[in-house]
């Protein structure tokens, strides 16, 4: 495999929408998502009203890469070999002694299943995107509250969490003004959604003008997709994309067959009957990568068109597009931006005299480093005899290198580059920092990894 990657070599360029093309105001969105779940749990499932009150400091708990061990109520941060680096019971930090007693120094019991990216499990849940993270805080606080009533060995609240998700995000919720999330975003989109930078809009037009086929593949339903795209790109957004696929239900879009997941046409944002084949560009719902690829072969006139897909979820976007469809993948990882201190937050950039006296109580953005969980990329373990700490890579860090072609903090980071710019890609024979652009995480560099020379 070539050591470099260029968009110029790709005939087709696809994008996820949420947290990829559309970036959110993470603090406000996290509050809203948490509230949408908590309201349901309290009013419909009878959970303690204490769930509704969240202190600003609580948001430090949220960290991508955590895994909930459902039965035990424990949250885990895993090393690349599957051992437990850090853990909490609910929100309560577990000491090294607690971890050793509970999990030992061996591979976590569900690691083999999880490392195969099994899409659903009744035993654990992996948190890998910003829509998920408020749910992690909610689940941890549920464990805390249940323990206050009566300490227990096993927990069965997950079915209620699933019910809350289904209620707030079902495909009809936007149209019906159902739940907490969609009605609030519709009322106040500018509070939650960032407009797409002009630089990125020009970049998309440049891709289109250069003859690239542009795809938008999102698991959001068509009505919510339309709201987001009109807000971030303008009312003429559809002109940018040759094919728009909504309610794609990733990762199933990549992993399931045409019979399991046929395409459907849309009429007034309502799904119509399934269609047997995908014959022309347009706006569709559900579907599968197999039939899409057949259409792309016709559109490009190539037997094996080269496709790259941009997304933010390791499980739904990056692993699935890479593993099932052999597409090139670009992971959007805002933690990379935070690690490099590339972009200052609004509060950091304000003059001192304008900062509020309650600044220290401002909730942390979800992409910033958690004090409780540490770096997304690395962590330390104690040595066996001399007690020296050893720096190890996390399971999340290993996934980045294994399944993404390159990883960037945002599309904006590459939008001013020439289309034929050659990135150094991740590969099995390259160092772990190779595919990060514009710079590798500082935490990885401090672990002794070297940046390859081109």
* Residues catalogued as catalytic: 16, 18
Burial label, 245 (beta-carbon count in 10 A; 0-12, 13-18, 19+): buried
**Element of type H or E holding 77:** strand 74-78
Nearest to 310 by CA among 404, 221, 236: 404
In the block, which residue shows the tokens 């999330």? 181
Phi, psi of 83 (to 5 degrees): -80, 160
Cα-based angle 411, 413, 416 (whole degrees, multiple of 5): 95
Cα 264 to Cα 226, 234, 255, 284, distances in angstroms: 17, 25, 17, 6
Burial 27-44 (b: 16+ CB within 10 A, else e): bebbbbbbbbbbbbbeee
Q: Which residues pair with 264 in a beta bridge?
A: 274, 285
Cα-based angle 329, 334, 336 (whole degrees, multiple of 5): 85
In the block, which residue shows the tokens 């654990």? 124
In the block, which residue shows the tokens 């104690």? 382
* Alpha helix ranges (H) inside 274-394: 289-300, 320-325, 334-340, 346-349
CA distance linking residue 138 with residue 141, whole number of Å: 5
CA distance linking residue 323 with residue 119, whole number of Å: 13
């Amino acid at each position: 495999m070539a050591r470099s990657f260029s968009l110029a070599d790709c005939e087709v360029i696809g994008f996820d929408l949420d947290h990829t093309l559309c970036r959110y105001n993470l603090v406000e969105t996290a509050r809203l998502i948490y509230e949408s779940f908590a309201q349901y749990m309290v009013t419909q499932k009878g959970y303690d009203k204490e769930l509704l009150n969240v202190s600003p400091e609580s948001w430090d708990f949220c960290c991508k890469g955590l895994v909930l061990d459902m039965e035990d109520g424990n949250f885990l941060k895993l090393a690349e070999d599957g051992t437990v680096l850090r853990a909490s019971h609910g929100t309560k930090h577990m000491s090294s002694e607690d971890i050793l007693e509970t999990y030992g120094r061996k591979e976590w019991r569900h690691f083999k299943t999880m490392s195969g990216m099994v899409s659903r499990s009744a035993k654990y849940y992996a948190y890998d995107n910003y829509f998920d993270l408020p749910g992690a805080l909610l689940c941890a606080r549920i464990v805390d509250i249940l323990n206050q009533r009566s300490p227990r060995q096993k927990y069965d609240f997950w079915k209620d969490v699933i019910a809350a998700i289904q209620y707030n995000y079902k495909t009809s919720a936007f149209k019906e003004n159902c739940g907490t999330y969609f009605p609030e975003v519709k009322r106040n989109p500018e509070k939650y959604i960032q407009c797409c930078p002009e630089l990125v809009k020009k970049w998309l037009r440049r891709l289109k003008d250069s003859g690239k086929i542009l795809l938008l593949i999102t698991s959001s339903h068509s009505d919510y997709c339309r709201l987001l795209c009109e807000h971030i790109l303008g009312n003429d957004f559809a002109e940018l994309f040759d094919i728009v696929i909504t309610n794609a239900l990733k990762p199933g879009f990549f992993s399931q067959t045409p019979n399991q997941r046929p395409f459907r046409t849309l009429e007034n944002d309502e799904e119509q009957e399934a269609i047997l084949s995908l014959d022309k560009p347009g706006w569709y719902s559900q579907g599968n990568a197999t039939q899409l690829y057949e259409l792309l072969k016709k559109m490009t006139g190539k037997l094996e068109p080269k496709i790259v897909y941009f997304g933010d979820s390791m499980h739904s976007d990056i692993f699935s597009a890479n593993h099932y469809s052999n597409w090139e993948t670009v992971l959007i990882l805002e933690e990379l931006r935070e690690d490099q201190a590339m972009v200052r937050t609004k509060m950091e950039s304000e003059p001192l005299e304008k900062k509020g006296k309650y600044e220290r109580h401002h909730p942390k953005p979800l992409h910033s480093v958690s004090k409780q969980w540490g770096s997304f990329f690395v962590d330390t373990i104690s040595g066996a005899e001399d007690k020296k700490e050893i720096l190890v890579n996390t399971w999340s860090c290993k996934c980045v290198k294994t399944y993404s072609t390159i990883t960037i903090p945002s599309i904006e980071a590459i939008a001013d580059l020439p289309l034929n710019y050659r990135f150094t890609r991740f590969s099995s024979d390259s160092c772990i920092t190779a595919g990060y652009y514009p710079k590798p995480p500082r935490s990885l560099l401090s672990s002794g990894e070297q940046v390859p020379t081109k």
